[in-house]
């Protein structure tokens, strides 16, 4: 069954709020085996909303709208839906009682415009809202065999209504659709075009499962998606394709699905019973912050220094003053001394030193904005990497943090 999601609300088009309903609905519907092939966003305008719904009716079996069920004059989704389907509106007394009870329980005065939420299209199946005042609506258009479902906009209301009422309705009405499952291989260190070349054979011949490449904040994600009658069959299809492409990308894959780089590093540190300390300059503690985002990171992170000034580099982690004078604060030598110094100072297995120019100022003819040195020190010796990142100051800090974590990951894999 083909589904189209229609998100309503001018505030979405203005960028005033982030639409979290569409990703939730798309994810859950795909889990249930329904094919979400279209997503549309439209403002609170009757003509444009009607046109969007007409297009959706022509290309989808199920149309699910979110938003526009409130009490104000701008909440028009039900009215436009009813008009499109030539349905009269009527006052649904059970909804009136529910809305009145909602206000009474909170000792609030209900204004007359709240009754707009109890106006329903003729023949509609009214869906109780257990978290708010706006009921949902299911309308079956029997002639064309289409279904339009109107859901409220507030995410907590929509989520609760969908899980409690819409999922059972869809399963009963349309039967088991099978499953659509995805697995994401998260990679770092290879650009999108080069990565595509490595698995191009499988991209060009894809059918079921399908392959897609997604660039995400410095990472490239390889998504494998399979449709099957059961979860077991879908997983088998995914495993077969992953088994073919993984050997081509192995050194670049650091995580699966939601596993972050900092999780991958933390897991390796725990597995090898090792501790880590960091001396950060241009990242200002960002790498340490990312590591501590993981619960249980106290089991391997001993501590860190933000060595932003030269004095702190010298006094706290032992960078020789003459090295900074001769080579500069942003240099391979300084990064290496930072890594070695913080490891010795805090008594850890791994030490990391990071120094660079995040910009927009501070560059010289030989040292441009984006020049970064990342050093790792441990039992396998000392290594240092030179990078040239571009982008804003924030982008350079983010890219540096991700690269530092990846270098630690590779270092741990060599021990």
Total number of domains constituting the chain: 3
**CA distance linking residue 226 with residue 241, whole number of Å:** 10
Cα separation, 137 vs 125, whole angstroms: 6
pLDDT at 113 over 90: no
Sheet with 219-228: list strands edge to edge: 210-216, 219-228, 179-187, 253-256
Of the residues 130, 155, 174, the one at which a domain ends: 174
Convert the pLDDT of each residue in 169-225 to its tens digit. 999 999 889 989 999 999 999 999 999 999 999 999 999 999 999 999 999 999 999
Tokens of 313: 């580099």
Same-domain check for residues 408 and 288? yes
Structure confidence at residue 398 (pLDDT):
97
C-alpha dist (Å) from residue 309 to 173, 198, 327, 386: 66, 43, 15, 20
Q: Are 219 and 294 found together in one domain?
A: no
Using the 8-state DSSP alphabet, how is residue 282 labeled?
A: T
Write the DSSP symbol of residue 124.
P
Burial of 296 (0-12, 13-18, 19+ CB in 10 A): exposed
The residue assigned the tokens 């008009």 is: 83
Q: How confident is the model at residue 168 (pLDDT cuts 50, 70, 90)?
A: very high
218 and 74 fall within a common domain: no
The mean pLDDT value of the chain amounts to 96
How far apart CA 72 and CA 122 sit, in angstroms, is: 21
Gap between the Cα atoms of 345 and 364, Å rounded: 32
Whether the pLDDT of residue 263 is over 90: the answer is yes
Instruction: Give me the CATH number covering residue 185.
Output: 3.30.70.2860
Q: Give the residue from 159, 48, 93, 90 showing the smallest Cα distance to 151.
A: 159
pLDDT at 21: 98
What span, in angstroms and rounded, lies between the C-alpha atoms of 244 and 237? 11
Q: What is the CATH number of the domain that holds 342?
A: 3.90.950.20
How many angstroms separate the CA atoms of 70 and 134, rounded? Answer: 6
Residue 134: its pLDDT value, please? 94
Q: Name the residue range of residue 250's domain.
A: 179-256
> Using CB atoms within 10 A of its CB, is residue 67 exposed (0-12), middle (13-18) or buried (19+)?
buried
Establish how many alpha carbons lie within 13 A of residue 21's alpha carbon, considering only the half-sphere containing its beta carbon.
27
Q: How confident is the model at residue 106 (pLDDT cuts 50, 70, 90)?
A: confident
End-of-domain residue from the set 198, 229, 256? 256
- Answer yes or no: do 151 and 56 share one domain: yes
Task: Confirm if 279 and 317 have CB atoms less than 8 A apart.
Answer: yes
Q: What is the model's pLDDT at position 234?
A: 96
Distance CA 228, CA 182 (A): 11
Same-domain pairing of 186 and 50: no
CATH of the domain at 133: 3.40.980.10
Entry pTM? 0.82
Domain boundary among 109, 144, 174: 174
**Is the same domain home to 408 and 308?**
yes
pLDDT of residue 143: 81
What 3-state DSSP class applies to 187?
Answer: strand
Per-residue model confidence as pLDDT tens digits over 307-330: 999 999 999 999 999 999 999 999
Closest CA to 99 of 59, 74, 128, 125: 128
299 and 319 share a domain?
yes
Same structural domain, 277 and 159: no
Residue 325 CB partners (closer than 8 Å, separation 6+): none
244-264: average pLDDT:
97
Candidates 70, 76, 89, 2; CA nearest to 42 is: 76
Residue with tokens 């204004």: 111
Contact (Cβ atoms closer than 8 angstroms) between residue 78 and residue 47 = no
One domain for residues 390 and 278: yes
- Of 21-30, 135-144, 156-165, the one with minimum mean pLDDT is 135-144
What pLDDT score does 110 carry? 86
307 plus 372 within the same structural domain? yes
Q: Distance (Å, rounded) from C-alpha 137 to C-alpha 122?
A: 11
- Give the side-chain half-sphere CA count within 13 A for 136: 28
**In terms of domains, do 282 and 145 share one?**
no
Report the C-alpha gap between 256 and 266 in whole angstroms. 15
Query: Residues 279, 384: one domain?
Result: yes
CB atoms within 10 A of CB 232: 9
């Amino acid at each position: 069954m083909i589904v189209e999601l229609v998100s309503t609300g001018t505030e979405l088009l203005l960028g005033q709020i982030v639409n979290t309903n569409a990703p939730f609905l798309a994810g859950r519907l795909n889990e249930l085996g329904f094919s979400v092939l279209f997503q549309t966003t439209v403002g609170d305008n009757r003509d444009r909303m009607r046109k969007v719904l007409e297009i959706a009716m022509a290309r989808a079996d199920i149309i699910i709208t979110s938003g526009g069920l409130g009490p104000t004059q701008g909440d028009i989704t039900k009215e436009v839906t009813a008009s499109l389907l030539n349905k009269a509106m009527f006052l649904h007394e059970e909804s009136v009682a529910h809305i009145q009870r909602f206000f009474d329980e909170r000792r609030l005065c209900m204004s007359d415009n709240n009754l707009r939420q109890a106006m329903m299209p003729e023949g509609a199946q009214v869906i109780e809202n257990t978290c708010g005042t706006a009921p949902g609506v299911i309308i079956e258009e029997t002639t064309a065999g289409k279904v339009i479902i109107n859901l409220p906009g507030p995410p907590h209301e929509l989520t609760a209504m969908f899980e409690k009422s819409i999922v059972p309705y869809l399963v009963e009405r349309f039967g088991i659709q099978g499953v659509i499952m995805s697995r994401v291989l998260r990679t770092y260190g290879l650009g999108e075009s080069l990565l595509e070349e490595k698995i191009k054979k499988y991209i060009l011949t894809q059918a079921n499962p399908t392959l897609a490449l997604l660039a995400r904040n410095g990472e490239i994600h390889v998504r494998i998606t399979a449709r099957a009658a059961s979860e077991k069959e879908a997983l088998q299809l995914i495993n077969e394709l992953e088994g073919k492409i993984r050997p081509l990308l192995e050194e670049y894959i650091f995580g699966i699905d939601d596993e972050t780089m900092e999780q991958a590093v933390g897991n390796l540190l725990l597995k090898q019973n090792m501790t880590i300390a960091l001396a950060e300059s241009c990242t200002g503690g960002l790498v340490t912050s990312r590591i501590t985002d993981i619960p249980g990171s106290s089991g391997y992170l001993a501590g860190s220094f933000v060595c932003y000034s030269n004095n702190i580099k010298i006094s706290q982690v032992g960078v020789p003053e003459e090295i900074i004078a001769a080579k500069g604060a942003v240099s391979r030598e300084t990064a290496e001394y930072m890594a070695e110094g913080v490891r010795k100072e805090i008594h850890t297995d791994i030490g990391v030193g990071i120094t660079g120019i995040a910009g927009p100022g501070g560059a010289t003819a030989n040292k441009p904005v984006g020049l970064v040195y990342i050093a790792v020190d441990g039992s396998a010796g000392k290594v240092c990497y030179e990078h040239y990142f571009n982008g804003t100051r924030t982008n350079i800090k983010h890219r540096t943090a991700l690269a530092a974590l990846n270098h630690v990951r590779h270092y741990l894999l060599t021990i």
